[in-house]
Amino acid sequence: MLKEVSKDYITSTNPNASFNISTGSDSNYYQLKLPYQITYEFCSGVEESDYMNAITFSEDASFYARDSFYGHDRAFHDHPLHFHDYYEIMVVLSGTVTQRIENIDYKYPAGTCCLINRGIRHAENFDTEASILFVGLSTSMIGELFTVAEHSSFRSEKDFMNSGLYKFIISDLDNPDRKAYLDMIPVFHNSSGMEQLHKVTTEMLNTMMFPHFGSSYKMRSLLSELLYFISSNDNYHCTDVEMGMGNDQLLFSRIEHLMDARNGRISRAELEKALNYSGDYLNRIVNKYTGMCLYDYGMTFCLKKAAKDLATTRTPITSIAQNLQFSNRTHFYTLFEKQFHMTPKEYRIKMTK
């Protein structure tokens, strides 16, 4: 059953069964009463006529709320940030959202994820028509999932224990007051990543909406699948962010990851799309930390890859230049000599002696 709280806000008549919420003047504290919960939020847009739906699922019950976009936006700006006693994974399925972390705003476009620990105060808002999945995992649920991996007979399953996500949570479990989170941006070369992400999250929602015998086991499998997917270096660049790292520094770290993944051969337009910031602003960030423009900074990654190939392979120099998208051999030689103070041939001889 639903009730109308105001002309803009409609909610379930029963309170949200997943949480105990303690309100304060500067923050709200959420305590998860169950091993895990799933919340799906969808915003139809950011105009006066648009709305935001939120559905929270747990093994005990579901909870629904609908608010106007303006009402949700007012709450984002007027209400205190919140923190919680569980780990929360935010998965942006479509559109773009702003996450306010300790009063600093960060942009998260479709495909990006964020793992918030128990010490971070935060809130989310919609920048466009968008959909988000939030996955809340209690420390007991984390322990259950991790114990299975640690004692698995599958050697490949134990590889998860080498991931940045696993190490982040393990080191964090004994430090509940630590203020840190994991920032995850998709790698470029995995063209099927979004499709895989939607597949596992859709399966989660379907399982929670239409449970049957075995669904509790299936959800644990799907939660493990999600953790594995977002922890894989094939799918995401993952940055461990300690509070104190500003927005500019985090954005530069994202640029650095993308440059490295593409050997510097990533256009300004591609960076704009991946990070949801203008090329001019990204250029200013790079200049702030390196003194270089985007193109020159990208070229350092390109030349680093050329140097590595010269030192570790027998690939002809002309082929190395072509593989790195140099159409002009002379241009490649000129840039390489400027960077390493020797020709590519001289560098190969020196490094392979």
Q: What are the sequence ranges of the domains in the chain? A: 2-245, 262-351
Query: Where is pLDDT greater, at 130 or 13?
Result: 130
- With H, G, I as helix, E, B as strand and everything else as coil, classify residue 68: strand
Closest of 301, 257, 249, 245 to residue 112, by C-alpha:
257
The answer to whether residues 138 and 35 touch, using CB atoms and an 8 Å cutoff, is: yes
pLDDT in tens, 64-88: 999 999 999 988 988 899 999 999 9
Residue 317: how many other CB atoms lie within 10 Å = 19
- With H, G, I as helix, E, B as strand and everything else as coil, classify residue 120: coil
Strand-pairing partners, residue 97, are 108, 126
Mean pLDDT of the residues in the chain? 91
The answer to whether residues 338 and 296 touch, using CB atoms and an 8 Å cutoff, is: no
Phi, psi of 352 (to 5 degrees): -110, 10
Specify the DSSP class assigned to residue 352.
Answer: T
Q: How far apart are CA 318 and CA 295, in angstroms?
A: 22
Residues counted in the chain: 353
Residue 340: how many other CB atoms lie within 10 Å = 17
The answer to whether residues 33 and 20 touch, using CB atoms and an 8 Å cutoff, is: yes
pLDDT in tens, 28-65: 999 999 999 999 999 999 998 999 999 999 998 899 99
The tally of CA atoms less than 13 A away on the side-chain side of residue 251 is: 25
For residue 195, name the pLDDT band (cuts at 50, 70, 90): very high
pLDDT in tens, 263-319: 999 999 989 988 888 999 999 999 999 999 999 999 999 999 999 999 999 999 999
The answer to whether residues 14 and 61 touch, using CB atoms and an 8 Å cutoff, is: yes
Section 342-348 average pLDDT: 93
Q: Which fold has domain 262-351?
A: Arc Repressor Mutant, subunit A (1.10.10)
The answer to whether residues 154 and 228 touch, using CB atoms and an 8 Å cutoff, is: no
Please say whether the dihedral angle defined by the alpha carbons of residues 188, 194, 195 and 199, taken in this order, is positive or negative.
positive
